[in-house]
């Protein structure tokens, strides 16, 4: 068990923001916590699951996770859910209604923004949800603040009768800092009280709640104006003052330690009165926002003069290297990068799949098919868009491969009439948002071949369990979805449903080619586990016999990172065509003996090597 789980009150621990949030949730007396994994929020639920007196679960998607938390709150229990920024889009249907209904037990939602897109398909600013949902937003700058704000957010939620969003960014989620912890509070559920006018939100009932919500807005503004979470850090150089929130406040203090700073912890609604007063104490006000110019626009609408995105970039983190060159000219101090302060030129390392990943075979096979349009999805298999496979044509959002593929089929013109449409999706993503898309394909008689890559894990976020793995968040046995029965229940004919070993390339190629020629929905399910989970079984590794290698490079097209080019050359074919040759070796210590490269090697130059690790033979 994690040491912090057993930590006694008033002790200090080095915690990431995500670990600090988990501790705060437990101390706040939360009874129910739910989430779907997504970087950078994943570790929050993983750590909450270590506390035995909190019910925790991986939900199948973010909408379900917030619904579980809402249900617990209605029963009077304190409830929590976490998600990354794009997950909030999925959860928003339930969320936007609950802001109108309010809460009984405190309901806190941590939304983590991936500022700079380290692992996301877009950059969103989740502060907008506060304006959209008429609810408070809290923004911690480090682990200690994340701990304190999450813990205090439950009482705030109950006092304001509103869910509370705690907006964090990757910088807070993953960076560690010292945190002084406390004790768990006792918070017994108040119990369910029937109140159809509140909980059954028919149009008439919802309409009646709107004046109440507007009244709450006024209360929220009073709280924001008075909140101790909004505080001024005094500075002697009043030529420029800064208004900011979250980790950007740390960057401002590092770049301009003598400047006055108004740091917002309770950032929605904005405390306009206090900001106006602060602006009057400095010559120029600069609003530093990681994301959209949300505050800047509000201030300008309120008649408060300020700088913001006119001098600062619209995306990415606002580190000192960004702030200094942008703000120094306002002070009449042109900025020059310090000598030796050159950005490191790192060798490019494009993301790729793991050695022996079970997705390598499907993408190698797809790259060999002609006249195919491939709709992809979110997950490890998104990497199939890269070299050497180049086997994805679109990737939009979680589960979108299905609907996009159907749209491609129905929207095709004469130039694409003879092309097959393939949708690629992973097991967890299919359960998250893909099932409805497949149902739409079968219901509307789409001509789409679905490749369901079941690797028994949420691979991209670290191998978490889900409803298709047979284990719950605690690693205990749980009912496991039968994908064959599921896709057939969604309308796929039994003869159009196939289960294939992704390491058997000839079989995979034959089934894919067969199904893409048949004009009706079909599903091909691959059945090998992620190489990073315990279910994966290694085999005897391989090596290349140098003398036998012809340099054809076919094995490189599999994309396995354990295969390296040792020498390049050129040759002229009998036809007179010049071809490139690539002679290779296999990193035997990394090889798991999956056999994919062997199947591509015509001269049989790849043979078993002596095992360098413990090997189990079937």
| Nearest Cα to Cα of residue 253 among 316, 202, 356, 324 | 324
pLDDT at 463: 93
Please, how many CA atoms are within 13 Å of residue 236, restricted to the half-sphere of its CB? 1
Instruction: Kindly give the pairing relationship between strand 522-526 and strand 497-500.
Output: parallel
pLDDT at 487: 98
pLDDT at 149: 98
- Grouping H, G, I as helix, E, B as strand and the rest as coil, residue 500 is strand
| Nearest Cα to Cα of residue 534 among 478, 465, 485 | 465
138-150 confidence digits (pLDDT tens) = 999 999 999 999 9
Percent of residues, the chain, with pLDDT higher than 70: 97
80-103 confidence digits (pLDDT tens) = 999 999 999 999 999 999 999 999
Cα four-point dihedral sign 469, 473, 475, 478: negative
Confirm if 218 and 225 have CB atoms less than 8 A apart: no
Q: How far apart are CA 15 and CA 147, in angstroms?
A: 10
Instruction: Kindly give the pairing relationship between strand 420-426 and strand 449-453.
Output: parallel
Strands (E), 136-254: 137-138, 164-169, 176-180, 231-233, 240-245
* Domains 231-331 and 359-526 agree in fold: yes
- Grouping H, G, I as helix, E, B as strand and the rest as coil, residue 134 is coil
Which homologous superfamily is 11-190+197-226 in? Thiamin diphosphate (ThDP)-binding fold, Pyr/PP domains (3.40.50.970)
Other beta carbons within 10 angstroms of residue 39's beta carbon come to 18
469 Cα distance to chain centroid: 20
Biggest distance spanned by C-alpha atoms of the chain: 85
Is pLDDT above 60 for 612?
A: no
Angular region, 303: left φ>0, alpha ψ -120 to 50, beta rest? left
Confirm if 30 and 157 have CB atoms less than 8 A apart: no
DSSP-derived secondary structure letter, 202: -
7-54 confidence digits (pLDDT tens) = 999 999 999 999 999 999 999 999 999 999 999 999 999 999 999 999
Confirm if 347 and 341 have CB atoms less than 8 A apart: no
pLDDT at 401: 97
What long-range pairs does 475-483 form, CB within 8 A, spacing at least 24?
Answer: 481/431, 483/427, 483/430, 483/452, 483/454, 483/525
Length of the chain: 618
Q: Which fold does the domain 359-526 belong to in CATH?
A: Rossmann fold (3.40.50)
469-511 confidence digits (pLDDT tens) = 999 999 999 999 999 999 999 999 999 999 999 999 999 999 9
pLDDT at 6: 86
- Grouping H, G, I as helix, E, B as strand and the rest as coil, residue 110 is strand
Q: Which fold does the domain 542-608 belong to in CATH?
A: Alpha-Beta Plaits (3.30.70)
Give every CB contact of residue 203 below 8 A, 6+ residues apart in sequence: none
Is the peptide bond preceding residue 191 cis, with omega within 30 degrees of 0? no
Q: How far apart are CA 457 and CA 86, in angstroms?
A: 20
Q: Rounded mean pLDDT of 102-113?
A: 97
Confirm if 165 and 156 have CB atoms less than 8 A apart: no
| Nearest Cα to Cα of residue 54 among 91, 36, 27, 73 | 27
Identify any residues that bridge with 497 across adjacent strands, giving them in sequence order.
523
The DSSP line for 513-569 is: HHHHTSSS-EEEEE----TTSTT------EEE-TTT-----GGGGG--TTEEEEEEE
Is pLDDT above 70 for 405?
A: yes
Confirm if 145 and 265 have CB atoms less than 8 A apart: yes
pTM of the predicted protein model: 0.92
Please, how many CA atoms are within 13 Å of residue 607, restricted to the half-sphere of its CB? 9
Cα four-point dihedral sign 369, 370, 373, 378: positive
Confirm if 99 and 134 have CB atoms less than 8 A apart: yes
Of the chain, the end-to-end C-alpha distance in Å amounts to 34
Give the containing element (helix H, strand E) for 581: strand 578-586
pLDDT at 611: 60
Q: Mean pLDDT, the chain, as a whole number?
A: 94
Q: How far apart are CA 170 and CA 291, in angstroms?
A: 13
Strands (E), 331-376: 372-375
pLDDT at 618: 42
What long-range pairs does 343-351 form, CB within 8 A, spacing at least 24?
Answer: 350/386, 350/387, 351/383, 351/386
Q: Which fold does the domain 231-331 belong to in CATH?
A: Rossmann fold (3.40.50)
Which positions make up the binding site?
Answer: 549, 552, 555, 560, 591, 594, 597, 601
The two tokens of residue 580 are: 């490139």
DSSP-derived secondary structure letter, 342: P
**In this predicted structure, which of 63-77, 137-151, 569-583 has the lowest mean pLDDT?**
569-583
Confirm if 384 and 352 have CB atoms less than 8 A apart: no
Which positions make up the binding site for [4Fe-4S] cluster?
Answer: 549, 552, 555, 560, 591, 594, 597, 601
Is pLDDT above 50 for 617?
A: no
Q: Where are the domains of the chain?
A: 11-190+197-226, 231-331, 359-526, 542-608
- Tell the burial category of 480 from Cβ atoms under 10 Å away from its Cβ (0-12, 13-18, 19+): middle
| Nearest Cα to Cα of residue 137 among 171, 168, 102 | 168
């Amino acid at each position: 068990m994690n040491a912090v789980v057993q930590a006694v009150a008033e002790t200090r621990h080095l915690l990431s923001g995500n670990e600090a949030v988990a501790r705060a949730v437990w101390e706040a007396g939360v009874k129910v916590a739910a989430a779907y994994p997504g970087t950078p929020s994943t570790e929050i639920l993983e750590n909450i699951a270590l506390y035995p007196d909190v019910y925790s679960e991986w939900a199948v998607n973010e909408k379900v996770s917030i619904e579980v938390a809402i249900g617990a709150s209605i029963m009077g229990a304190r409830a929590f859910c976490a998600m990354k920024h794009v997950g909030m889009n999925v959860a928003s249907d339930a969320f936007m209604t609950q802001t109108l209904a309010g809460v009984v037990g405190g309901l806190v939602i941590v939304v983590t923004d991936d500022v700079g897109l380290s692992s996301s398909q877009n950059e969103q600013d989740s502060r907008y949800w506060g304006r959209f949902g008429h609810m408070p937003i809290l923004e911690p700058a480090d682990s200690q603040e994340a701990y304190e704000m999450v813990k205090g957010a439950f009482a705030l939620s109950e006092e304001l009768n509103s869910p509370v969003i705690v907006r964090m960014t990757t910088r807070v989620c993953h960076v560690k800092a010292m945190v002084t912890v406390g004790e768990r509070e006792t918070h017994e559920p108040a119990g369910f009280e029937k109140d159809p006018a509140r909980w059954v939100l028919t149009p008439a009932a919802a309409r009646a709640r709107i004046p109440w919500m507007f009244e709450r807005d006024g209360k929220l503004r009073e709280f924001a104006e008075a909140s101790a979470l909004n505080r001024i850090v005094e500075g002697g150089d009043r030529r420029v003052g800064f208004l900011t929130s979250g980790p950007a406040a740390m960057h401002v203090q590092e770049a301009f330690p003598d400047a006055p700073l108004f740091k917002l912890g309770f950032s929605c609604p904005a405390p306009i009165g206090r900001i106006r007063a602060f602006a009057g104490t400095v010559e120029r006000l600069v609003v530093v926002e990681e994301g959209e110019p949300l505050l800047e626009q509000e201030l300008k609408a309120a008649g408060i003069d300020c700088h913001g995105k006119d001098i600062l970039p619209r995306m990415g983190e606002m580190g000192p290297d960004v702030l200094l060159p942008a703000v120094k000219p306002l002070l009449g101090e042109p900025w020059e990068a310090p000598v030796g302060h050159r950005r490191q030129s790192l060798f490019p390392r494009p993301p790729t799949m793991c050695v022996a990943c079970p997705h390598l075979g499907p993408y190698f096979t797809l790259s060999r098919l002609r006249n195919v349009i491939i709709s992809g999805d979110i997950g490890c298999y998104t990497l199939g868009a890269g070299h050497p496979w180049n086997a994805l044509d679109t990737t939009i959002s979680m589960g979108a491969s299905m609907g996009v593929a159907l749209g491609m089929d129905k929207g095709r013109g004469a130039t694409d009439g003879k092309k097959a449409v393939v949708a690629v999706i992973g097991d967890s993503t299919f359960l998250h948002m893909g099932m409805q898309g497949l149902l739409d394909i079968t219901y509307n008689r789409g001509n789409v071949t679905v490749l369901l890559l079941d690797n028994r894990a949420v691979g991209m976020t670290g191998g978490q369990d889900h409803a298709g793995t047979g284990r719950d968040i605690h690693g205990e046995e749980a009912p496991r979805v039968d994908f064959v029965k599921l896709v057939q229940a969604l309308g796929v004919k039994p003869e159009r449903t196939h289960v294939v070993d992704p390491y058997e390339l000839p079989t995979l190629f034959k089934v894919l080619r067969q199904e893409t020629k048949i004009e009706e929905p079909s599903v091909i399910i691959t059945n090998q586990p992620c190489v990073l989970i315990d279910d994966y079984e290694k085999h005897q590794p391989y090596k290349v016999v140098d003398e036998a290698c012809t340099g054809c490079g076919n094995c490189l097209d599999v994309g396995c990172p354990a295969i390296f080019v040792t020498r390049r050359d050129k040759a002229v074919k009998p036809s007179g065509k010049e071809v490139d040759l690539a002679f290779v070796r296999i990193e035997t210590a990394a090889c798991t003996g999956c056999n994919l490269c062997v199947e591509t090697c015509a001269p049989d130059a790849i043979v078993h090597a002596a095992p360098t690790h413990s090997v189990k033979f079937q």
